[in-house]
Structures are given as C-alpha cells and as structure tokens.
C-alpha cells in the first residue's frame, strides 16, 4: 500500500495545505525555515503512528489564533479532520480482496480527537432502499403468484407480504447496511424456493437483490483488511539520538518516576532497549547479579543463564543492525568505519561501539556525525516498526544535516536505497540532497503569510525565493560540474527536454537497446535563445558540443544565429523535425511522444484532449493543450511522463514514437562520438 496524496488542515501553522501528491518511493520537501515542513511530517505520522507516539493535543496542536473556537464550542474536535491520506493498493494488498475491490483507493483520516475514519473510493457502493424497491415489489408479486390456489389462506400472510415487517420503517434513503442487509438476506433465503426455476428474469432479479445485501458486509471486510495492512509511519528527527553510553540505573529511575527533562533526549535510548528486548530496569538488575557460591550449582547455572540471555540478545541485535546499516550505507563509507556495530553491557553501563577493520572498538560518538545519525535512525526505525518495517513509511526531518556537502550528495543514494523498500518523505534545506533528476519529486513548502498558513506545491512553484533556493543551488551546482567535467556535452532548450530525453533513454536501455551514451552530459539552457551562450562557453574550452532545437519559431531563430552555426557547425545542430514522422509542420519535442502524452494527460492529470488530438493531427499537441486546458503546464506534463516511465517499459510507447526516439538518440551518439 502506497500513500499517493495527502491533505493536512488545522494543525499548528497549517490552515489547509490542500491535497498534495506523494511519490511512490521518494518525496522531497523543501522550503525556508518556519514554513511548516516539520509540522507536515508530524501530522502525516498520525495517519498510523507507532503505539508509543502521542496523538493530537487540542491545546497544543490546534492553530493558536483559532483556539477560542474550541473553548467556546464553535468547533467540535470530533468533527475536525487534521490529516487525510489516499492510498493506492499494491498486488500484495489486492491478493486479500474480492475482485470488485482490487482497483479501489483506500482513504484514511485522523480527527483532532484522535478518532480514525476510513472509506473506499471506487468500490461498489452500498445500496439504498430506493434503489431496490422496484425489484423487491416485482419479486414479491412473482413469488405470491406462485402459491397454489389450494394453499392460499386469506388469514395467513403470503411469502411476499412477510417483507413488510422488515421494511416497515425504511425510507428511500435508508442504506442497506450490515444490519438491514442481514434481515433482508434472511428473507430472500426463506423465499428462494418460491422463485420459478428456469425463469431467468426473476432469477437475475433475485441475484441482484442478494448482491445488494452483500455489498455492505463486503465493504466492511475490505476496510478491515486494508486497515490491518496500513503501513506504520515512522518519524525520525535529529533529536532522537542513541547515546553512546547509558547508565541503566539512572535511566530506569528517570523512566519510572517520569522525571525526564527532555523526553526526546532519552527517546533514542528507549528505542534501543525496546529493540534489544529489555527494559532499563531489567538490564540494570542483570548488571547487579552477584556470583553465587560454588556450592550451589543450580543457582550458579541460573545466574549464568541470566547473563548469557543478556549477552545473546545483545549480540543478535547488533548483528542485525550491522547488516541493515551496511546494506544502505555506501560501501566506501563503511570501509574501516562500520565493519560491525556492537552493543556492550558492562555492569550498570550500556555502550554502543563500532568495531573497525582492525578489531578496535570505538565509541559511537567518536565516529562521523553522518554515521551516528544513520545508527540512531535504524535503531528508532526498527524499534517503532516492530517487525513491520517492510510495510513502513519513513518520515525524515532534515536527514544528513551534519554531513559535508559532497557526502550529502552520496547520502542521497542511501536515501534512494531506503526508498526502494519503504516509501520515504524527507525535508531538507540542502541542495545536495536534491538531485538534478529529482525535481519532479520535490514539493515546495512555503508560508505566504500567517493568515494563509503553510502551503504545499506539487510543482516547482513558489512566491518565496527562499523556498526555491535549494533547487536553484542544486541545479547550479550540477550544471557547474557538468559543464567542464565531460568531454561531450549536449545542450537542450529546457529542463522538460532534459527529462524527456533522460527518461526515454532509460526506457530503451532497460529494453536492451542502446540508450544515450553515458559519457554525454545533458545541459538544459532554459530557453532556445540561451543555447548559443552555453555553446560558446563549452566550445571555448575545446569540448565537444551539440544541441537540440525544437522546430518551432524560437528554435528556427536560434538555429539561424551565425555564431551558433559557426561554433557548432550544421551537423551538430539537431532539430526535432529531423526525426519526426508526423504531420505537424513545426514539431516541438513533445510531438515525439504525442500519443503517449495525450494518454498520460488523460489518465494522470485529467486533461482529456484525445478526441481533438485525433481529429487535428497536423496541429501542435502543445498548442492543443494550451487552448483546451486551463492552467496547462509543460512542467506538469513532463513530470507526469517521468513518473509514468518509472512504471512502464519502452514497449508501452507507440511504435512510431519508439522509432523517432531511437533515431534521435542514435543521432546524438553519432554527432558526439
């Protein structure tokens, strides 16, 4: 089950985020300080938090400026939904459901009073009495007519008339819910033998009514199954650190007396103990075991067993932690730094140490900050998930904050590895944790003003320049690196062109065909007019350069610039019309995916221009979208295609599109060979 969109209302700085999309693997929240990113993550966790996590607190969590509405009774906490999530079902979920429920969307919400509600979208609806009155009346008439005259007794009710006792107080709006359905289903069972055998019309009517009685229970069963399969939402922040040295007696006393100056300070340690299978008091008592007299072998053995139990459980936990951490932490980062994680009990002290390749044990706090963060994260993650970590959504607040910029760039791959098994949402200010090929995964969080509250944009758009700063820095850094590090450079008009080329190239590679040469750096120039500037700079450094220009008016104008032709030569200026085989006179890059984009726009964005595109094949598809769709965005369309490409293969493209792209990529590889 994967979260596909969410909405948060009336929570701290949030008035209403509106619905925002969540990617199937990794979603990145960016925005300035105090925009509400942490509040978004905390609210999302309440969709299905671990058992120990505190729920919503009306006093602390309802927007302070509106709290008077609560105290005066104007707003009832039981009616306020704080967080709502829509989940797409995966094959593992669908296997437990009846066929008619397999394509539905599971929706769950948490109210301010912490009550949970859920529903299904796209599932069979529960019938109302008004929907079945005609069928009931006709079935009653049919079965009453089947009673032989010699059996008819005016003083006795007919089979059909016995229905009146059941529907006596029903109205047309009465739902045939679980209890009403039970009564009606029992009546149908009692009168079944009166239905004429071989009468297909009445038999079909009977089956329809019977199905109407079963829908409510089927929905109830489906909801129960999906609720049981809901992923745990694990939130991890930099505060939840595992301390390298824990005094068990002191920790046990603090926990038992509730004398905690800062609950977050001890939270990581509590999770570590939970993962080990001990309480602080149990480990503390084990640390005070006194060796008994040798004259009592039974007592000696019991003492030994007690200590061995502690040792074996600690060892099992450290082996599992080491394995899982090394699976996602980059191999070069683990070498000499994290060969083995050890949890050592010594009297009243519990120590977390790292054994390096030389066999030296070093306390965790002497290792890198990034590694300490990762160890703490896994301890909290596995403790909170409690065996359900394969069905958990990870919410990470500013991960890897202490890492060097270049190390953060590597750590981005670690996050991707985590996201392969667990849907991940994380917030960041760092440009190094947003890849240039991940802009479609970004959600911009901003607070235009306190009255409007926190807003989340599913597209890269914001009125606050500070919100977009990490993205601008990420693009700037990547562009600066790619400009002079690759011998071969291919300039594109814009970012959407970059996405299309990269995505289709990957589809072809996965299909066993030749994709774009991986030694070619793709350079988006932001517009056709700026292609010449990038070409001039790169050419001046004696690098191989080529460019792709659309065949629209802007592309024609750029292609005719003398300096561009002089720098690159005609053969290095590729045009979309060179590979396009359709009817549009001045094709842009979108024409190379015309049919696929029309279908994606219809299914994923609810932009239906299919009939117009089919009728007007000589008209630009971008022009059709602009004219027919209010609020059309090339960015949204390209983003939808990138998302589509992750779940599809090259064979899903229209054959003509595959040929066009194959020819384009071959031409690029040839001109930059």
- Per DSSP, the residues of 618-666 read TS-HHHHHHHHSTT--HHHHHHHHHHHHHT--GGGS-HHHHHHHHHHHH
Residue 336 has what pLDDT? 45
Residues 298 and 201 in one domain: no
Of the candidates 342, 369, 387, which is a domain's last residue?
387
Q: Examine the domain organization and report whether 615 and 518 are in the same domain.
A: yes
| 480 lies in some domain | no
**Residue 410 maps to a domain:** no
DSSP 535-600: HHHHHHTT-EEEEEE-SSHHHHHHHT-HHHHHHH-GGGEEEGGGT--SS-SS--GGGGGHHHHHHH
| Angle formed at CA 46 by CA 44 and CA 48, multiple of 5 degrees | 105
Find out whether 215 and 177 touch, Cβ atoms under 8 Å: no
Count the Cβ atoms, other than its own, within 10 Å of residue 119: 13
Q: Looking at the DSSP assignment, which residues form a beta bridge with residue 159?
A: none
Q: Tell me how long the chain is.
A: 673
Residue 228: per-residue pLDDT: 93
Given a cut of 50, the residues of the chain with pLDDT beneath it are 330-337, 462
pTM of the model: 0.68
Torsion of CA 424, 429, 434, 440, to 10 degrees: 70
**What domain range is 600 assigned to?**
486-671
- Round to whole Å and give the CA distance between 477 and 397: 23
Show which of 332, 359, 387 is a domain's final residue: 387
Q: Write down which residue in 354, 387, 420 finishes a domain.
A: 387
Q: 396 forms bridges with which residues in the sheet?
A: 236, 426
Q: How far apart are CA 415 and CA 421, in angstroms?
A: 11
> What's the pLDDT score for residue 589?
92
631: in domain: yes
Whether 224 is covered by a domain: the verdict is no
Tokens 């595109």 appear where?
Answer: 613
Dump the DSSP string for 413-435.
Answer: HHHHHHHHHS-EEEEE--GGGS-
Residue (of 94, 12, 74) closest to 46 by Cα position: 12
Same domain assignment for residues 559 and 641:
yes
Domain count, the chain: 3
260 shares its domain with 337: yes
Residues 370, 249 within the same domain: yes
Q: Please write the tens of the pLDDT for every residue from 169-226.
A: 899 988 888 888 898 999 988 888 888 888 999 999 999 999 889 888 999 999 999 9
Query: What secondary structure letter does DSSP report for 100?
Result: G
In a domain, 143, yes or no: yes
145 assigned to some structural domain: yes
Distance, in Å, from the CA atom of 643 to the CA atom of 600, rounded to the nearest integer, reads: 10
Q: What are phi and psi of 425, to 5 degrees?
A: -125, 125
Determine the pLDDT at residue 333.
Answer: 46
Clarify whether residues 317 and 254 are in a common domain.
Answer: yes
* Residues 246/251/255/256 CA torsion (nearest 10 deg): 150
Indicate whether 199 belongs to any domain.
Answer: yes
What 3-state DSSP class applies to 12?
coil
Same domain? For 518 and 665 the reply is: yes
Q: Are residues 499 and 637 in the same domain?
A: yes
What pLDDT is attached to residue 339?
A: 58
Q: Are residues 262 and 190 in the same domain?
A: no
Are residues 282 and 154 both part of a single domain?
Answer: no
Instruction: Return left, alpha or beta for 574; rule: phi > 0 is left, psi -120 to 50 is alpha, else beta.
Output: beta
Task: List, for residues 416-472, the tens digit of each pLDDT value.
Answer: 878 888 899 999 887 778 876 677 788 888 887 778 888 887 665 545 555 555 555
Give the Cα separation of 404 and 373 in Å (integer). 13
Do residue 299 and residue 370 come from a single domain? yes
Cα-based distances in Å from 9 to 48, 68, 185, 456: 17, 17, 41, 12
Please give the full DSSP string across 114-176, using - where no structure is assigned: S-EEEEEESSPPPPBHHHHHHHHHHHHHHHHHTS-GGG--TTS--TTGGGHHHHTT--TT-B-
58: exposed, middle or buried (Cβ count in 10 Å: 0-12, 13-18, 19+): middle
The rounded distance, in Å, linking the Cα atoms of 382 and 327 is: 15
Please check whether residues 177 and 250 belong to one and the same domain: no
Inside any domain, residue 331:
yes
Q: What is the largest CA-CA distance in the chain?
A: 108
């Amino acid at each position: 089950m994967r979260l596909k969109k969410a909405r948060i209302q009336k929570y701290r700085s949030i008035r209403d985020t509106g619905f925002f999309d969540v990617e199937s693997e990794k979603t990145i929240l960016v925005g300035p300080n105090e925009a509400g990113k942490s509040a978004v993550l905390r609210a999302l966790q309440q969709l299905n938090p671990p058992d120990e996590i505190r729920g919503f607190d009306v006093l602390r969590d309802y927007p302070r400026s509106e709290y008077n509405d609560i105290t005066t009774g104007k707003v009832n906490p039981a009616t306020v939904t704080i967080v709502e999530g829509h989940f797409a079902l995966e094959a593992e979920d669908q296997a437990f459901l009846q066929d008619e429920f397999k394509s539905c969307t599971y929706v769950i919400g948490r109210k301010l009073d912490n009550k949970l509600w859920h529903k299904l979208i796209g599932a069979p609806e529960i019938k109302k009495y008004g929907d079945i009155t005609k069928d009931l009346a006709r079935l009653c008439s049919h079965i009453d007519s089947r009673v032989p005259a010699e059996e008819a007794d005016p003083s006795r009710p007919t089979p059909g008339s016995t229905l009146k006792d059941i529907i006596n107080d029903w109205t047309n709006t009465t739902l045939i819910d679980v209890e009403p359905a039970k009564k009606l289903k029992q009546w149908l069972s009692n009168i079944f033998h009166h239905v004429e055998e071989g009468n297909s019309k009445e038999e079909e009517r009977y089956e329809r009514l019977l199905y109407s009685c079963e829908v409510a229970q089927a929905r109830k069963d489906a909801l129960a199954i999906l609720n049981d399969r809901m992923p745990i939402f694990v939130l991890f922040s930099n505060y939840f650190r595992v301390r390298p040295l824990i005094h068990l007696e002191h920790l046990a006393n603090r926990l038992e007396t509730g004398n905690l100056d800062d609950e977050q300070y001890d939270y990581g340690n509590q999770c570590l103990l939970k993962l080990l299978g001990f309480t602080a008091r149990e480990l503390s008592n084990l640390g005070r075991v006194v060796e008994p007299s040798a004259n009592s072998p039974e007592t000696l053995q019991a003492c030994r067993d007690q200590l061995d139990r502690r040792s074996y459980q600690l060892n099992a936990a450290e082996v599992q932690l080491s394995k899982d951490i090394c699976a996602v932490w980059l191999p070069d980062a683990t070498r000499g730094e994290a060969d083995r994680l050890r949890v050592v009990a010594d009297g009243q002290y519990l120590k977390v140490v790292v054994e390096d390749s030389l066999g030296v044990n070093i306390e965790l706090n002497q290792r890198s900050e990034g590694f300490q963060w990762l160890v703490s994260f896994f301890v909290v993650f596995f403790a909170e998930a409690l065996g359900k970590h394969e069905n958990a959504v990870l919410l990470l607040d500013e991960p890897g904050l202490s890492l060097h910029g270049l190390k953060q760039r590597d750590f981005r791959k670690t996050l991707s590895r985590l996201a392969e098994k667990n849907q991940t949402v994380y917030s960041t200010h760092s440009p190094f944790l947003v890849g240039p090929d991940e802009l479609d995964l970004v959600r911009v969080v901003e607070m235009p003003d306190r009255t409007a509250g926190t807003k989340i944009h599913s597209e890269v758009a914001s009125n606050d320049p500070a919100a977009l700063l990490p993205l601008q820095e990420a693009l700037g850094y990547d562009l600066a690196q790619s400009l002079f590090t690759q011998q071969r450079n291919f300039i594109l008009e814009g970012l959407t062109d970059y996405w299309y080329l990269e995505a289709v190239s990957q589809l072809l590679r996965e299909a066993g065909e030749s994709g774009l040469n991986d030694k070619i750096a793709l350079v988006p120039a932001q517009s056709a007019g700026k292609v010449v500037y990038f070409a001039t700079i790169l050419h001046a450094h004696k690098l191989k350069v080529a460019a792709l220009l659309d065949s629209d008016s802007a592309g024609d104008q750029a292609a005719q610039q003398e300096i561009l032709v002089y720098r690159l030569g005609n053969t290095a200026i590729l045009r979309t019309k060179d590979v396009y085989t359709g009817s549009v006179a001045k094709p842009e890059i979108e024409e190379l995916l015309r049919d696929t984009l029309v279908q994606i726009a219809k299914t994923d964005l609810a932009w239906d221009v299919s009939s117009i595109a089919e009728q007007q094949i000589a008209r630009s598809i971008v022009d059709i979208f602009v004219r027919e769709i209010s609020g059309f965005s090339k960015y949204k369309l390209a983003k939808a295609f990138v998302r589509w490409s992750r779940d599809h293969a090259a064979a899903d493209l229209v054959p003509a599109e595959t040929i066009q792209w194959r020819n384009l990529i071959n031409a690029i590889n040839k001109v930059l060979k």
